[in-house]
Structure 1
Amino acid sequence: MAGVGQFTQDWEPVVVRKKAPTAAAKKDEKVVNAARRAGAQIETIRKANAGTNKAASSSTSLNTRKLDEETENLALERVPSELKKAIMQGRMDKKLTQAQLAQMINEKPQVIQEYESGKAIPNQQIIGKLERALGVKLRGKK
């Protein structure tokens, strides 16, 4: 047992304190206090926007105004009726339910439902999966 006890742990408490104020800060404080005791007029200057986010928010208000002035209406592209009918017809020909078709292409049944109802925003990857699963060409000429 010659090697036992060679390594010991030091369990002495370590105290970490905040950094003490620098000499320059103490000196400034002493000068101000001495001037106050002497009755001198002390002027304090408040820095504009010190400790606030006002500078950052002023640029945001410009962006918000630009957005408010923007009048263009954006309409998202929806599934065309030909595509809806082609998906439905292909699914019916294979005698699949929406849930079975969704499982075949690793999507949620809700996705198939949205495509067949025309509410979905067309995604080329999903359309490609549907083409392979149904064996029907869904893309190409409009």
Structure 2
Amino acid sequence: MAGVGPMTQDWEPVVIRKKAPNAAAKRDEKTVNAARRSGADIETVRKFNAGSNKAASSGTSLNTKKLDDDTENLSHDRVPTELKKAIMQARGEKKLTQSQLAQLINEKPQVIQEYESGKAIPNQQILSKLERALGAKLRGKK
């Protein structure tokens, strides 16, 4: 470009290029179809629970890696009997239904049912929400 003097024309060539394709462009449908036509190997993998919010309420992500690594026959921890009874008792004292309690803690009623039936895998976040909503201590020493 011209320096500080009078304005002159700039005769230096300027090359305008597109950006190099990023990862999202490589997964584009056109690119994948072109690769199929050329005979390249294509691997398609669907992500676990992709596009859903199941992981937040199910709590299964806590021990799945540990279970996958072990070859022994193990199972997840379940809600202890004392905790089930404490939740039911505290909910009864507040005169709340399962669906009302679920709405208070922003969870599905199914989550409360699983905790009260003992089928749920304990999730510390949900337990702390329950403690706050019920005003009772559910974890630790009484």
* TM-score of the aligned structures, taking structure 1 as reference length: 0.50
Equivalent in the alignment of 1:140: 140
Equivalent in the alignment of 1:110: 110
Find the aligned partners of 2:73 and 2:93 in 1 and give their Cα distance: 39
Quick one: structure 1 residues 85 and 72, their matched pair in 2 at CA, closer, same or farther if it must change by over 3 Å? same
Task: Tell me which amino acid in the other structure corresponds to 2:134.
Answer: L
Equivalent in the alignment of 1:119: 119
Task: Tell me which amino acid in the other structure corresponds to 1:140.
Answer: G
Aligned-partner SS, 2:128:
helix
Find the aligned partners of 1:52 and 1:105 in 2 and give their Cα distance: 48
Find the aligned partners of 1:95 and 1:81 in 2 and give their Cα distance: 21
Runs ≥4 residues deviating over 2 A: none
Equivalent in the alignment of 1:78: 78
Greater fraction of residues in helix: 1
Percent identity of equivalent pairs: 79
Q: CA deviation at 1:95?
A: 0.4
Equivalent in the alignment of 1:128: 128
What are structure 1's unaligned runs of at least 5 residues?
A: 1-50, 54-69
Alignment of 1:59-78 (within 5 A): 71-78=71-78
Find the aligned partners of 1:93 and 1:123 in 2 and give their Cα distance: 23
Find the aligned partners of 1:85 and 1:136 in 2 and give their Cα distance: 12
Find the aligned partners of 1:71 and 1:91 in 2 and give their Cα distance: 40
Quick one: structure 1 residues 52 and 95, their matched pair in 2 at CA, closer, same or farther if it must change by over 3 Å? closer
Find the aligned partners of 2:81 and 2:104 in 1 and give their Cα distance: 23
What are structure 2's unaligned runs of at least 5 residues?
A: 1-39, 43-69
Task: Tell me which amino acid in the other structure corresponds to 2:138.
Answer: L
Looking at CA atoms only, which structure, 1 or 2, has the larger radius of gyration? 1
Q: CA deviation at 1:141?
A: 2.7
Aligned-partner SS, 2:99:
helix
Does 2:84 match 1:97?
no
Q: CA deviation at 1:74?
A: 1.4
Aligned-partner SS, 1:73:
coil
Aligned-partner SS, 2:96:
coil
Q: CA deviation at 1:71?
A: 4.1
